[in-house]
Structure 1
């Protein structure tokens, strides 16, 4: 898993909890790196899972809620670091269409060892989109948080229906995003 995910997770813990909590969860976790990550490194996703579990125990917040909050936080970080990706789109559906077809393709060019999730979108109508998420990692809650963050960024109210699909050893989730209103700038 890309190191940037690890560095952003630790940044979130620093911001929303404290650097002391960050240090405690690193010490409590089963990590080969002892919490020393670089954004361009590649690390076992089990280290991230271990840190999330440690944070869950520290904060008594369910793991799923923490991972979803991390996804939302991560979207905000992407907005700051890659504003061009967001400014190129004027609505949530255009942006989500772009992720699987362009963003993850570019990630693979930059980091050939990476294995980003597969994202496929289908517009089912003017105000409804199906997004299929497939990954060998169990980070569907992060994907859910990323969608929620994107909805906030594009100032769009929507409902998100989520169905877990079975596909071998992969995590496959079908998100149905139904736009209920759009705030125009």
Structure 2
């Protein structure tokens, strides 16, 4: 997993829970590198799992809720850090539809060794989008947070429903997004 994910997670923890909590979870997680991450480095995803578990234990907030909140935070950080990916995109559906064939292509240009999840899409008209998430990593909660962050970024009235399809070596979830009409 790319280091930018770790550095952004640590920044979110510090901003929302304070430096003392950040130091505490790094110690509790017993990381090989003592929480020293670079944005361009590559790290095992289990380290993020350890950090989230420690944060959950410290704050009492459920791990899935923390990961979703992190996804929302991460989306806004990506919007600020990579504005070129948002040029000409005017809606959440348009952005989400281009993840697999544009966003991930651009991410691989920046980080050739990035191991990204994949998305398959089903269109059910202009007000509905189904996204099938698949990854060897158990981060459907992160994907959900990123999707929610995208919806919030574009300020659209879209309901997001998640159905987990498979877990383990091949994690799959279906996200159904429906635009509410006034």
TM category (shorter chain) comes to over 0.9
Matched, 1:106 2:116: no
CA RMSD of aligned residues (A): 1.4
Residue 165 of structure 1 aligns to a residue whose secondary structure is: strand
TM (norm. structure 2) is 0.95
How many pairs align?
182
Please, which runs of 5 or more residues in structure 2 have no aligned partner? none
8 Å CA contact 2:134–2:171 kept in 1: the answer is yes
Paired residue for 1:179?
179
Paired residue for 2:158?
158
Residue 156 of structure 1 aligns to a residue whose secondary structure is: coil
Using the alignment, how far apart are the partners of 1:85 and 1:35 within structure 2? 29
Q: CA deviation at 1:112?
A: 2.5
TM (norm. structure 1) is 0.94
Q: CA deviation at 1:97?
A: 1.0
Paired residue for 2:53?
53
Kindly indicate which of the two structures has a greater share of residues assigned to strand.
Answer: 1
Using the alignment, how far apart are the partners of 2:68 and 2:30 within structure 1? 22
Q: CA deviation at 1:167?
A: 6.8
Paired residue for 1:33?
33
Please, which runs of 5 or more residues in structure 1 have no aligned partner? none
Using the alignment, how far apart are the partners of 1:181 and 1:12 within structure 2? 33
Using the alignment, how far apart are the partners of 2:111 and 2:61 within structure 1? 33
8 Å CA contact 2:71–2:144 kept in 1: the answer is yes
8 Å CA contact 1:156–1:181 kept in 2: the answer is no
Q: Which runs of 4+ in 1 moved over 3 A?
A: none
8 Å CA contact 1:136–1:170 kept in 2: the answer is yes
Residue 75 of structure 1 aligns to a residue whose secondary structure is: helix
Q: CA deviation at 1:42?
A: 0.1
